[in-house]
Amino acid sequence: MKMYSIRLVFIFALSIIYSICSYSAYAVNIRIIDTQGQPLENTVVSLPSVSKQTDTNIAVMDQIKQQFSPRVLTVSQGQAVSFPNSDNVRHHVYSF
């Protein structure tokens, strides 16, 4: 039930934000919280973009001390991603 209410609030908030952003060029600050008002870690909010331009920077998801770094990586559709391995062990994630 808690997850359902969080999703409803989240969907409602995104619909309002999308309405505002699609008609103006204002900056939007978003804070995602749980039902107790605590910030949710590693949360990504995606808003549709009017621009169809692809980010030409290569995003990097490294493997350091047997963990992904950064913990969360956001990329645009069509953006290249590199998966280097900075560890001394082989992992199961590769990019070719």
Per-residue pLDDT tens over the stretch 19-64: 555 555 556 777 888 888 888 888 877 777 666 677 788 999 998 9
Secondary structure of the chain: what % helix, strand, coil (to 5)? 25, 15, 65
Q: Give pTM, 2 decimals.
A: 0.53
pLDDT of 60: 93
Going through 1-96 in order, the beta strands assigned E by DSSP cover 59-60, 62-64, 67-69, 81-82
The span from the CA of 1 to the CA of 31, in Å, is 21
